Amino acid sequence: MDFRFSLGKGREIHPLDFLRRRLTRGLDVATGDEPARRGGEVEALVTISNARKLGDLEVGVVCTEYYDEQETTRDSDGSTSLSRSTSDEVAHESWSQVESISGTQSLRFMIPSDAPFSYRGECLSFKWEVVARGHKSRGLDAQARSEFSVLP
């Protein structure tokens, strides 16, 4: 069973992600002011105000494809019903290790020219985010995310 909080099309949040964000203290990500384009670069800014408990840290850019599908469910009486649901899959991701030290670090990531551009539709969407995640040997990973726009 898949539990998700929905904040509108293409904005579903898994409960574990929600907990990770609550657990993330002292970690923030953003992108630079320049608009990102396919075939160009995006600047990721990682700010660590408290490096303790973050674990091994990596930063990446992730594009997620959200697409609507028809689901068939079988009821207890044997009848079937159709419903519309939104599935998601990572369309592109690129990661880089960063040092777990206090302060702001800048990294640049290439956006491939054949990658999706940002789009929020009715049955198909592409969402770009810069993500920082700290891998802990025990417990949930820390995770900070920030959406940005990729132009065609």
Q: Which residues contact 145 (CB under 8 A, 6 or more apart)?
A: 21, 29, 129, 130, 131, 132
Candidates 1-9, 43-51, 62-70, 99-107 — which segment interacts with another protein by CB under 8 A? 62-70
Candidates 5-13, 64-72, 127-135, 141-149 — which segment interacts with another protein by CB under 8 A? 64-72
Q: Measured between alpha carbons, how far is 127 from 122 in angstroms, rounded to an integer?
A: 13
From the list 126, 127, 128, 148, which residue makes contact with another protein (rule: CB under 8 A)? 126
The tokens of 139 are what?
């417990």
Candidates 41-49, 83-91, 96-104, 135-143 — which segment interacts with another protein by CB under 8 A? 83-91
Q: Is 47 in the site for another protein (CB under 8 A)?
A: no
Q: Is 109 in the site for another protein (CB under 8 A)?
A: no
The tokens of 122 are what?
């009715």
From the list 41, 56, 58, 68, which residue makes contact with another protein (rule: CB under 8 A)? 68
Q: Is 117 in the site for another protein (CB under 8 A)?
A: yes
Q: Measured between alpha carbons, how far is 100 from 35 in angstroms, rounded to an integer?
A: 27
Neighbour-count burial for 44-69, b at 16+ CB within 10 Å, e otherwise: bbbebeebeebbebebbbbbbbbeee
Residues near another protein (CB under 8 A) are 65, 67-70, 84, 87, 89, 91, 116-117, 119, 121-124, 126, 152
